[in-house]
Structure 1
Amino acid sequence: MKVLIVECDNNLGGLWQGHLERAGMVVSRVADQGRAIAYLSSFDVDVIIMNLVIGEGSALAIADYASYRHPDARIIFVTNTSFFSDGSIFSVASNACAFLPTRTPPDDLTAMVEHHGHKDEHMGPAPA
């Protein structure tokens, strides 16, 4: 499974990446919109883990581009704010499959990636 992490906190992104790689996933990590768009322009991805608040650019712009370029890719949004806490992220980003606090244990995040990134050859991505 191919995972892209969009996170500007190097320590947090590194923690997630280590857990995902130990679970056998191929993980790349970027910190901003420009690098995320460049990555998505060149490489396939099954799941994107993305902080809703990134240092440079817009997470929603990345989600929009991903829905165009990789329509089967699922996005797990993470945040440490209450923005979108009403669940409206799912109506704003059609490819959103989860919305988690940044303090979610890495093992739980890995389980979410495994669940939402699992694809059946004939059915597309697992339902949300």
Structure 2
Amino acid sequence: MKALVVQDDPNVQSLWAQSLKAAGHETCVADTETAALDALKSTGFDLVLLDLCLNGQNALGVATLATYRNPRCKVVVVTGSAVYSQRKLFAMSPAVAAALRKPVDIESILAVCERVGRRERSTPPPVVAHSAVEFRP
């Protein structure tokens, strides 16, 4: 799985990236929303591990571009903010596959990323067409 780690704290960024690499994933890092958007424009990722608050700013635009560039890309949001409920985070972008609240340990982050990645690699359910509507059961 190709993952983009978006985190502005260099120590946490290193922990997340090295842990994903140790689990066998190809990783890239970004420490600002601009760097993350640039990375998404040039590379297709399967997963984005996103700290929602980068340098005091909401970085949910990263999730929007991730799904625009690759509709199968999933985003795992990690946040310490209570401003957004998990339900609101899921509603803000179709790419958000999981939302974790800080403090969160690295084992939980890895487990969620693996689960999201496994779901992504599995065969999607068939599309059912009925009249002018298509949906997945």
Give the TM-score band, short-chain normalised: 0.7 to 0.9
Give the distance between the partners of 1:21 and 1:55, measured in 2 at CA: 25
Q: Percent identity?
A: 26
Give the distance between the partners of 2:103 and 2:26, measured in 1 at CA: 22
1:11 aligns with 2:31: no
Contact 1:33 1:56 in 2 (8 A): no
Give the distance between the partners of 1:56 and 1:25, measured in 2 at CA: 29
Q: Scaled by the length of structure 2, what TM-score is found?
A: 0.82
Structure of higher CA gyration radius: 2
SS in 1 for 2:38: helix
Give the distance between the partners of 2:100 and 2:57, measured in 1 at CA: 20
Equivalent pairs, count: 123
Give the distance between the partners of 2:58 and 2:69, measured in 1 at CA: 17
1:63: Cα distance to partner? 1.3
Q: Which runs of 4+ in 1 moved over 3 A?
A: none
User: 1:96 aligns to what?
Assistant: 96
Q: Scaled by the length of structure 1, what TM-score is found?
A: 0.88
Structure 2 segments unaligned to the other structure (5+ residues): 126-137
Contact 2:44 2:69 in 1 (8 A): no
Structure 1 segments unaligned to the other structure (5+ residues): none
> Which structure exhibits the higher relative contact order, with contacts defined as CA atoms closer than 8 Å and separated by 6 or more residues?
1
Give the distance between the partners of 1:85 and 1:9, measured in 2 at CA: 23
Contact 1:78 1:102 in 2 (8 A): yes
Give the distance between the partners of 1:12 and 1:113, measured in 2 at CA: 16
Residue type of the alignment partner of 2:124: M
Give the distance between the partners of 2:48 and 2:111, measured in 1 at CA: 14
